[in-house]
Amino acid sequence: MIKRVLAVMSARNLEFLRDRSTLGWNIFLPVLLVLGLGLIFSGDGRPMYKVAVLQDAAEISLEAHPFLTTRYVQFFSVNDPEDAVRKIGRHKIDMLIQLQPSTRYWVNPDSPKGYILERLLLQADPDIERAEVSGEAVRYVDWLLPGILGMNMMFSCLFGVGYVVVRYRKNGFLKRLNATPLRPIEFIVAQVLSRLILIMAVTMFVYAGTQYFIGFRMQGSLLTLFLVALTGSVSLISLGLLVAARVSSEELAGGILNMLTWPMMLVSGVWFSLEGTHPIIQQLAKIFPLTLILESARAVMLDGATLAQVMPQLGTLLVMSGIFLLIGATAFSWQND
């Protein structure tokens, strides 16, 4: 029995080591993720809070106010008070401080981080004036819901399509389909429609259930939100099919899909806003479909954006989908290379 176990184990180890593409991804994927996260979240003592300082100058003088020396708080300058206050209400910024001509601050009363910052600020300056956030404050759970739904869509679309197609190729199912009149583009369209129906049904069920039991802010049209989810799902499914166009190893497919999903989950705004981070990071985040999906969904749900207002994001997602599908159909292989 022991010999048989060792023989099978040895054979599997040799199979893994001989698959150079899989071996390479298992070695380099963690390294690339660490390097990427180190670049995005670099710096000593990662800040836990984001505080905007209302001033024209880019550099903030620490001597201007004792609160500015607080550790683990990221202070950055802004010059548009209305935009900054709106971002406080949307949990993109935790607090706004004005130092000149008078000292006062804005905070979202429904923000847990804002509550902690307010306590710290009042310890440093008990006489500072408190200004109310204009408009209805948004709960953090209202801001978070689109991110959770978008993340679920991302994993379901990418792994539910890309990983499955690779498994079809590996076990010879695609090779048998190749003997039929079915063309690659027809197979790809069928996969898109199948996964699209499933993911939209699941997403609508989850949204309806959470809305019934918890109740979320919904300022815009449900039809517009549905079109955002539909367009975003098509884009993510198309990306999954692009990954699976020629890959025949499930391990390699898993590595590539993880390489796509982890950056999107971290920099697309699922859990937190990138407000205050380096502008290059904010621009790079816009190349991911999930970033456009979440921006559009939050605009509809929290700000009541119309279809015309989110059309630039939806148009970009449609262009991405077309490019992914075109490349995927062109490079598609029915059998292992």
Sequence spans of domains, the chain: 2-40, 49-131, 140-331
**Average pLDDT for 147-170:** 83
Q: Predicted confidence band at 155 (pLDDT cuts at 50, 70, 90)?
A: confident
For residues 239 and 319, is the Cβ–Cβ distance under 8 A?
no
pLDDT above 70 for 40: no
For residues 114 and 107, is the Cβ–Cβ distance under 8 A?
yes
> What is this structure's pTM?
0.71
CB contact burial 136-163 (16+ within 10 A = b; e otherwise): ebbbeebbbbbbebbbebbebbbbbbbb
**Average pLDDT for 107-127:** 86
What confidence score (pLDDT) does residue 45 get?
53
pLDDT digits (tens, 9 = 90+) for 287-313: 899 999 999 999 999 888 899 999 999
pLDDT above 90 for 316: yes
Nearest Cα residue to 266 out of 283, 242, 243, 290: 290
User: Which of 117-126, 243-252, 280-289 is the most confident on average?
Assistant: 117-126
What confidence score (pLDDT) does residue 86 get?
83
**Average pLDDT for 66-71:** 86
